[in-house]
Amino acid sequence: MFRETAMRLALALAALVLSGGLAAAADPVFPKGSTVGLVPPVGMVESHAFSGFQDAATQSSILIVEMPPQAYEQVAAGFTDAALATKGITVESRGTLALGDPALKDAKTLLVTGRQQAGSLAARKWVLLAGTDQATALVTIQVPVGTGDALTDEKVRETLATLAFRPPPSAEDLLATLPFRLGDRSGFRLVKVVGNSAAILTDGPKDVIDGAEQPIFVAGVAAGNPREDDRRQFALRALSSVPGVKDMRIERAEAMRIAGQPGFEILADGKDMGGQDDVKIVQWLRFGQNAHLRMVAIVKTGDFPEIYPRLRAIRDGVTTN
């Protein structure tokens, strides 16, 4: 009987430990494209307007800013009570915060709490600065005064203690966050994703491309869908913004269908501003409902006849989400 009772107690204790461990092991959530994340409080979801989380019901928010490792000391030096007062923040306390991730036991931290007044609006504020040899994170939690116990000081500190860092996302990871997909890359490879709207591809060994030494193809989405009779001028203005090229001369500029949608193609000659090579520039615009897809390629003139069909293959393989 004793053994049976002891066994039941042991099993009950094991179940309790396991269930407690599972409840406490919520994974950090990383905002899109961010290397800094945390376990957001119940009710908070990722924001589409900024890097962080928000609760629409209480107007509470968590803003996450990533900086290089060396930024920690500079930012910390500027976190004086007087400097924060110029932003309407009255400091109530300052100190350090132990982070829960064992890998961050040596992280430098500074936690400042207080209140901020902006006109008639008042909010409770917690600002955590955390520095590692990988990155510096600045996390600001703001809760409007008058929302009751939406987020207590204890809960905020628990949330901030879940701060986590991850390796920077690869270009392919970032590509998956863009509002379009690359189908047939025709032998080109992805080298960089710019912001949340553009991708750069090249054909050649270098990732950092100097002038026109390697063919380059850039695809990006931007707002704007001009009327049909304005599309030619719209396309010409867009072409004039292509960097690194001078003495451009238009060879062809005409409306066309691209992947079943209205579009516009411009083919131009020019010179590479750096190396003085003769280059061909081709720009395709594909118009959607409220935005347009812009694709630009720059290739040395001598290589263009062989490269051009591949560029068209990439163009025709781009699909929007």
* Mean of pLDDT values over 260-269: 96
pLDDT surpasses 60 at 152:
yes
* Mean of pLDDT values over 223-240: 94
Check residue 206 and give its pLDDT: 87
Check residue 113 and give its pLDDT: 96
Check residue 274 and give its pLDDT: 77
CB-based contact 264:232 (threshold 8 Å): yes
Check residue 15 and give its pLDDT: 35
More confident residue, 19 or 47: 47
pLDDT bin (cut points 50, 70, 90) of residue 144 is very high
Check residue 17 and give its pLDDT: 33
Domains defined for the chain, CATH in brackets: 27-165 (3.40.1000.10), 171-320 (3.40.1000.10)
* Mean of pLDDT values over 131-135: 92
pLDDT surpasses 50 at 7:
no
* Mean of pLDDT values over 247-257: 96
Check residue 157 and give its pLDDT: 96
pLDDT surpasses 80 at 148:
no
Radius of gyration of the chain from Cα atoms? 27
Phi and psi for 99 in degrees, rounded to 5?
-90, 145
Least confident segment among 15-19, 83-87, 160-164: 15-19
Check residue 121 and give its pLDDT: 81
More confident residue, 183 or 273: 183
Average pLDDT, the chain: 88
pLDDT bin (cut points 50, 70, 90) of residue 11 is very low
d(CA 130, CA 104): 10
pLDDT bin (cut points 50, 70, 90) of residue 25 is low
Q: Note the pLDDT tens digit of each residue in 174-198.
A: 899 899 999 999 999 999 998 778 9
DSSP 269-317: EEEETTT--EEEEEEEEEE-SSEEEEEEEEEEGGGHHHHHHHHHHHHHH
pLDDT surpasses 60 at 89:
yes
Query: What proportion of the chain, given as a percentage, has pLDDT over 70?
Result: 92
Give me the sign of the Cα torsion angle 92, 96, 99, 100.
negative
